[in-house]
Amino acid sequence: MTAPIPPSTSLTGTTKSKDDEAIQNRITPIGTIQDGDIEKFLVMDKVDKFGAHAKTDPREIKLVKKLDWYIMPILWFMYTFNYLDRNAIVNARLNNLEENLGLKNTEYNTCVSILFVGYTFRPSLFMAGFCLAWSIISLLSFLATNYPSMVILRFVLGIVEAPFYPGALYIISLFYTRKEIATRLAILTTGNNFSGSFAGLIAAGIFEGLDKKHGLAGWQWLFIIQGALSAATALLAFWFLPDYPLTTRWLTEEERQLAHNRIFIDTTDVKEGTNVWTGLRDAVADWRTWAFCLMYNLHISSVGFQNFLPTVMGTLGYSRTVTLALTCPPFILAAIVGLIIAWTSGHWNERTWHIVICKSIVLIGFIIPAATNNFAARLLSIFLFVGFSFGINNIVLSWVSSTLGQTNEKRSVALALCNMLGGLANIYTPYLWPSSDSPRYLTAWGASIGFAVGVILITLPLKYALKAQNKRMKRDNPEVMNLYVY
């Protein structure tokens, strides 16, 4: 069927600017469609039980490919360096960082956790600018000489990194449908997985080749090199990052309209654009926002191991270089698993069982090291809890976007709240991994088991709540086609 959809009344998430109105005036509204304009609108002939359509229109297929080439590579590189810059301290620990800075007791843990205090600030739209800012702060970390200086640098780094992830989620949610979001988030997450895989190898190479060169320790060179590469990526982002579908400069007018229409018709219970404050009110008043926030917080709490994976690997008894190299394979598995489950989740428009099954596998991975000190068993457990953890991020956040996307403003607030409250986990989870608990880390594994169980206990009731809401929508309006995905 052909679905002509009007442009939204707000292009920027607040009131219309003159530029917005100018663009709006160049686009034919629904009330004045002419015969010659019909090709601007989307053709749908494969719609599932939730009202989501498969891409069959050649123009839509071409558009999505163009979006992929412009949006995903730059976000991927930004996320890769976001992770590398944020976690350089994790690998620097293996190159005498603590000894050089005189860190004692839990001071290293504080240096890790203080970064995420900055993540509770409201995200900014100026992602490229903040990418440049965090690159500079990361690079300057090589100047740290003691505990206070490193804590201050890490805190500021957290503030300037804060806008990236929620901003990336928001951009993806503006341009991709329910069936597409999880896969794009999985592609984005491979940047995290890639950096997690090779961060140890990069660090090992720098430590071996540059340690003590020009009077700088290997960990100092690590901050300098990764910060410089991240800054180069930020400069590219100023051009490639888009705004809203109807204002994207590298789309033609017809492509802008098509990009807008396909998201409009894919949104459940869509409402007219309002403003940020109304979006905040709507998101806060919706109980599902808080259910997702708690789910995401528990999930992020359960992946607190990522800041200590080299340390956990170190308990296997290998040398520093081998330990860093061993962090690579589990993250490669995580990237593969993440892409597979994102595709299947989008293809079948299913969320609940993807989360429950993956989290159950992760749960087994947590139980093994808590129960035994056997080498083979602990190595297997690392592959389980690393390999099946990160793909869940994509499913949860795509679920948030599709469930709470009635307006762009509500969607952006809901994603920001989930990211902010999820990020709180990164403040307290480092204290679950004190060096005094090595090599068993029973407190950390016990807490991780509890967090994983909590995710499952929230996911299942949420599924049935959304299912019941769909029934009410069909009862009130038998003609309704676009329903909540679960």
In tens, the pLDDT along 98-126 reads 555 555 555 545 544 444 444 344 334 56
Q: What local confidence, expressed as pLDDT, does residue 22 receive?
A: 35
- Asked if residues 324 and 94 have their Cβ atoms less than 8 Å apart, the reply is yes
- Distance of alpha carbon 133 from alpha carbon 114, whole angstroms: 18
- Distance of alpha carbon 339 from alpha carbon 193, whole angstroms: 11
The fraction of the chain above a pLDDT of 90, given in percent, is 21
Question: What letter would DSSP give residue 42?
Answer: E
Q: What local confidence, expressed as pLDDT, does residue 450 receive?
A: 96
Give the chain's mean pLDDT. 77
Backbone angles phi, psi at 137, to 5 degrees: -65, -40
- Distance of alpha carbon 86 from alpha carbon 79, whole angstroms: 10
Q: Lowest-confidence range among 16-20, 189-193, 338-342?
A: 16-20
Q: What local confidence, expressed as pLDDT, does residue 122 receive?
A: 36
Q: What local confidence, expressed as pLDDT, does residue 12 receive?
A: 32
Q: Lowest-confidence range among 101-115, 131-145, 439-453?
A: 101-115
pLDDT digit string, tens, across residues 355-406:
999 999 999 999 998 998 888 888 899 999 999 998 898 899 889 988 887 7
pLDDT digit string, tens, across residues 170-202:
888 888 888 888 888 888 888 776 776 677 777
Q: What local confidence, expressed as pLDDT, does residue 146 receive?
A: 76
Backbone angles phi, psi at 42, to 5 degrees: -85, 140
Is a pLDDT exceeding 70 seen at residue 58?
yes
Is a pLDDT exceeding 80 seen at residue 318?
no
What's the pTM? 0.69
- Distance of alpha carbon 212 from alpha carbon 218, whole angstroms: 7
CB proximity list for 363: less than 8 A, separation 6 or greater = 449, 452, 453, 456
- Asked if residues 246 and 29 have their Cβ atoms less than 8 Å apart, the reply is no
Q: Which of 170, 145, 151, 166 is nearest to 12 (CA)?
A: 170
- Asked if residues 197 and 327 have their Cβ atoms less than 8 Å apart, the reply is yes
Q: Residue 381's Cα: distance from chain center in Å?
A: 24
Question: Of the spans 152-161, 304-313, 370-379, which averages the highest pLDDT?
Answer: 370-379
Q: Residue 207's Cα: distance from chain center in Å?
A: 30
- Distance of alpha carbon 416 from alpha carbon 412, whole angstroms: 6
User: Beta partners for 47?
Assistant: 53
- Identify the helix (H) or strand (E) that includes residue 255: helix 253-266
Q: What local confidence, expressed as pLDDT, does residue 90 receive?
A: 53
The fraction of the chain above a pLDDT of 70, given in percent, is 77
Average pLDDT value for residue range 304-314: 76
Architecture of domain 67-242+251-476: Up-down Bundle (1.20)
End-to-end CA distance of the chain: 25
Domains of the chain by residue range: 67-242+251-476
Q: Which of 357, 10, 403, 463 is nearest to 173 (CA)?
A: 403
Q: What local confidence, expressed as pLDDT, does residue 406 receive?
A: 76
Q: Residue 244's Cα: distance from chain center in Å?
A: 19
Select the more confidently predicted residue: 234 or 28. Answer: 234
Average pLDDT value for residue range 449-465: 96
- Asked if residues 324 and 201 have their Cβ atoms less than 8 Å apart, the reply is yes
Q: What local confidence, expressed as pLDDT, does residue 93 receive?
A: 53
